[in-house]
Amino acid sequence: MWKAYTQSPDSVVVTTSRKALGRFLPEGIMQWAVKYSPLDAPRTEFTHNSLFFYKPSRYSFEREFRLLRTPQPEEVFHFENPKDGFRKVSIPTRKIVHRVITHPCADSRTKSRVDELLRAFLPGIRRSDSALPT
């Protein structure tokens, strides 16, 4: 898993659950388990958002769950404006984050820094080392 997503031993994995996301995310956030299918297979849902919820079969090991916030009717986006590349959504991280796992090759400096950040921002969460090989 680590090789599929990062080159850096300074990486972490943050875990949550579908239940926590459903319970604590603000209204208006679409939540969807990604559907994995061959590229030539017909899609069963066709909306302007459906492209965000499909991936090719070769990625099925991910078991990805996606969140999508669509713009509100009164919101205007200008692609040339760098500030319009995102919108901040406030979430209760203490209720959503369940685990923080450091890379199997993380050094003690990285682990200490993650521990410091957790103490400061998520005091109920303790870092764990990855049990997966690199």
**pLDDT single digits (tens) 69-121:** 888 888 888 889 888 878 788 889 999 999 999 999 999 999 999 999 999 99
32 with 84, same domain: the answer is yes
106 with 117, same domain: the answer is yes
Which range among 9-18, 67-76, 125-134 shows the weakest confidence by mean pLDDT?
A: 67-76
**Domain ranges, residue 58:** 26-89
51-60 CB burial, b ≥16 within 10 A, e <16: eebbbeeeee
Q: CA dist 18 to 32, 49, 86, 110, Å? A: 9, 20, 23, 28
What is the pLDDT confidence band of residue 46, given thresholds at 50, 70 and 90?
A: low
85 with 132, same domain: the answer is no
77 with 96, same domain: the answer is no
Mean pLDDT for the chain? 88
40 with 61, same domain: the answer is yes
pTM, two decimals, is 0.77
**Dist. CA 128–CA 125, nearest whole Å:** 10
Per-residue model confidence (pLDDT) at position 100:
97
Work out whether strand 12-15 and strand 99-102 pair parallel, antiparallel, or are unpaired. antiparallel
Per-residue model confidence (pLDDT) at position 45:
67
81 with 109, same domain: the answer is no
